[in-house]
Structure 1
Amino acid sequence: MAMLLAGARWRVSSYSNGSGGQCVEVAVADAVVGVRDSKKRDGGLLAMDRAAWQGFLIGVRANG
């Protein structure tokens, strides 16, 4: 799945603190969403299909 994110535009979370900590990046491709640590871009990523991403967001929003 991660290969499907090649060339995707990564965006930094608006909740990142800007001082080098707690930085999350998200990229959306046709069928895949990727999440990674902006400080460790080569350290791997979490890739999932859009349905899993939607489920993740619903859970985060429901549980704060």
Structure 2
Amino acid sequence: MMNEHWKKSTYSDGGGGNCVEARAIDLGAAIRDTQNRGLAELSLPNAEWSALLHALRTR
């Protein structure tokens, strides 16, 4: 089941333009740029989504 509720990163700063949003999709997650919400979103399978989060958290 797809989740239409997008969540914005808690690390997004109000004015820097470096914001992304993510939502759960079947078998993974989708991410998009908050400045271009109407453009394509990037879909990642669960394993790749987990690897991305791990890499960002351990930076």
Give the TM-score of the pair, scaled to structure 1: 0.75
Aligned CA RMSD, in angstroms, stands at: 1.9
Map 1:3-18 onto structure 2 (within 5 A).
5=2, 8-18=4-14
**Which segments of 5 or more consecutive residues in structure 2 lack a partner in the other structure?**
none
Q: State the Cα deviation string for residues 6-41 of structure 1 (Å, max 9, x = none).
A: x52101111111126111101112412001101101
Quick one: distance in 1 between partners of 2:29 and 2:37?
Answer: 15
Matched residue type, 2:43? A
Distance of 2:53 and 2:19 partners within structure 1: 17
Gaps of 5+ in 1: none
Percent identical: 32
Structure number with higher relative contact order (C-alpha < 8 Å, ≥ 6 residues apart): 1
Question: Matched residues in 1 for 2:36 and 2:16: separation?
Answer: 11
- Equivalenced residues, count: 59
| 4+ aligned runs moved over 2 Å, structure 1 | none
